[in-house]
Amino acid sequence: MDSMVQLLRTKGHSSPSGAPASGRAWLMLALATVGFAVNFWAWALLSPLGPRFKDSLALSSFEQSLLVAVPVVVGSLGRIPVGALTDRFGGRVMFPIVSAATIVPVLYLGLAGHSSLAALLAGGFFLGIGGTAFAVGVPFVSAWFPPERRGLVIGVFGMGMGGTAISALTTVKLVDANSMSTPFLITAAVLAVYALVAALILRDAPGRTVPAEPLARRLAATLRLGVTWQAAALYAVAFGGYVAFSVYLPTYLKTGYGLTQADAANRMAGFVLIAVAMRPVGGWLSDRVGPVRVLAGTLAVVLTAAFVQSATPSLAPVGTIAFLSMAAALGAGSGAVFALVALLAPANKVGSVTGVVGAAGGLGGFLPPLVMGSLYGAYGSYSIGLVLLALVSGAALAFNSTGVRHALARRASAAHSH
């Protein structure tokens, strides 16, 4: 397996310059990661304010869920065209455009768009643009680095998903201390500064391969690639699981264990931080031993921890260990999926593949909270939901160990024959 992965690295892709990554490449990675975090901060502005809007606008639980879900769905699906556009025009063009475009809904929501559900949904729809930044950054940073570093660098870039934590920690406090418009105005200002800096400093990697065929044809070709669907299925479980828990964990802990809102929110923050920190570790390990092995280990941990937690053990220590193990595994697994994309996707389609895979991850996080809520409503227990998570992880583990492993072997033998 190691020799297969090594062969893919040496023959499957060429490094932008054939030399080790330069200081400029690391600067580009840092700028892209900041851009991802800032756009994700904007993307997550409505979620912490959901309970407040529920009270002030007398929303039903479904309307509140819809309000939080609209930016997630638009941001997830929007990654597909944005990833393809990044392949064509490069991150130097797309990062400033996505950041500047996100300013408009942020200002609208802060100044005028929070007085009715319809206005919030319209603003939330366009706020989804911020969520597409992920599909700009992955092809941008992977083009700057040689193949044997890509797992690590895409994992480091992926830490920008911690931008959602900035929103979770600051939005409500800023509204309480000042006014409803304050967090939106601050975020809009930060986006404007980033868009300007990105326009001035970002550069695409030398020797970047630019696809020539039209957008629709490229998307169709991307959807015919095996790696697109293999990585999408695995990312829907790994990143989808992370998103689902980061959204639903406070409710689960409050309902299932009787914790206070503040205690539950703090524990959710711990879960998010561990997952974010483990993402580059998953990428780094994938560079060393191959993404299939890393995914096998992480999915096995999720399967085991979900089964343990389905019995609703006491939080100290068993429940806490189960959840923190899942956080670490889901974070590392998310990093490993994009190490797999960097190995298997053609260089001029990394953005397009990233778009589809990123969309699958976002949508994968949208479904489980709805399932958990429905099952709890019907049976008064979360156990069935956690057993389902274990079963899905088991299916992903089997798929990773058969279909994905074989795809890597086929690609390695094709590279060898050339």
80-111 per-position pLDDT tens digit = 999 999 999 999 999 999 999 999 999 999 99
In whole angstroms, give the CA distance from residue 325 to residue 333.
Answer: 12
> pLDDT above 90 covers what percent of the chain?
53
Q: Has residue 277 got a pLDDT over 50?
A: yes
Flag whether pLDDT at 14 surpasses 80. Answer: no
393 has pLDDT over 90: yes
Q: Helix, strand, coil shares of the chain as percentages rounded to 5? A: 85, 0, 15
Cis before 81? omega within 30: no
pLDDT of 15 strictly over 50: no
pLDDT tens, 217-276? 998 999 999 889 999 999 999 988 888 887 778 878 888 898 887 788 788 888 888 999
pLDDT reading at 10 higher than 70: no
Give the model confidence (pLDDT) of 291-320 as tens digits.
999 999 999 999 999 999 999 899 989 999
Tell me the pLDDT band of 364, cut-offs 50, 70 and 90. Answer: confident
Task: Give the chain's domains with CATH numbers.
Answer: 2-417 (1.20.1250.20)
Q: Which two tokens stand for residue 256?
A: 């299932």
CA distances from 373 to 363, 380, 386 (A): 17, 10, 12
Query: Does the pLDDT value for residue 418 go beyond 90?
Result: no
Q: State how far the alpha carbon of 69 is from the alpha carbons of 216, 321, 338, in Å.
A: 27, 29, 24
The first and second tokens of residue 278, run together, are 């483990």
d(CA 406, CA 334): 20
Is the per-residue pLDDT at 356 higher than 60?
yes
User: Within 10 A of 51 (CB to CB), how many other CB atoms are there?
Assistant: 13
C-alpha to C-alpha distances, 296 to 302, 330, 383, 396, nearest whole angstrom? 10, 12, 24, 9
pLDDT band at 59 (very low <50, low <70, confident <90, very high): confident
Q: Does the model's pTM come out above 0.75?
A: yes
Question: 142-146, 164-168, 337-341: lowest mean pLDDT where?
Answer: 164-168
Going by C-alpha positions, the residue among 332, 342, 350, 335 that lies closest to residue 411 is: 342
Burial of 41 (0-12, 13-18, 19+ CB in 10 A): buried
- φ, ψ (nearest 5 deg) of residue 78: -65, -20
